[in-house]
Amino acid sequence: MKVNRLDVDLDNRLNKLEGEYELSFEAARTQYPLHVDLDEGRKRVKLIKMAIEELGTVNVGAIEEYDRVRERYEFLMTQKQDLE
């Protein structure tokens, strides 16, 4: 049972590697050799994940809000220049 689960996990990771990065496992291994100890790498990943969690929630509407406010600002600046 555990072997099957690990095999499925490996297949998923290989598919993600090819889908997102367009790399085969062999190409990734030769192009990006590990320069970090595996345990050190795991610690770094854990610290980065914790730092991301500490950032809190993301305001997904911020980009739209920024665009709206920028357009309003540009409009008002044009109006101001017309009055001068």
Q: What is the pLDDT of residues 15-71, one digit of tens each?
A: 999 999 999 999 998 998 878 888 998 999 999 999 999 999 989 899 999 999 999
Q: What CA–CA distance (Å, rounded) separates 62 from 60?
A: 6
Q: Look at residue 81 and tell me whether its pLDDT is greater than 90.
A: yes
**φ, ψ at 80 (rounded to 5°):** -60, -45
- What does the block give as tokens for 72? 């309003």
For the chain, the structural domain boundaries read: 1-33, 36-84
Q: Return the pLDDT at 34.
A: 79
pTM here is: 0.43
Residue type, 36: V
Residue type, 78: T
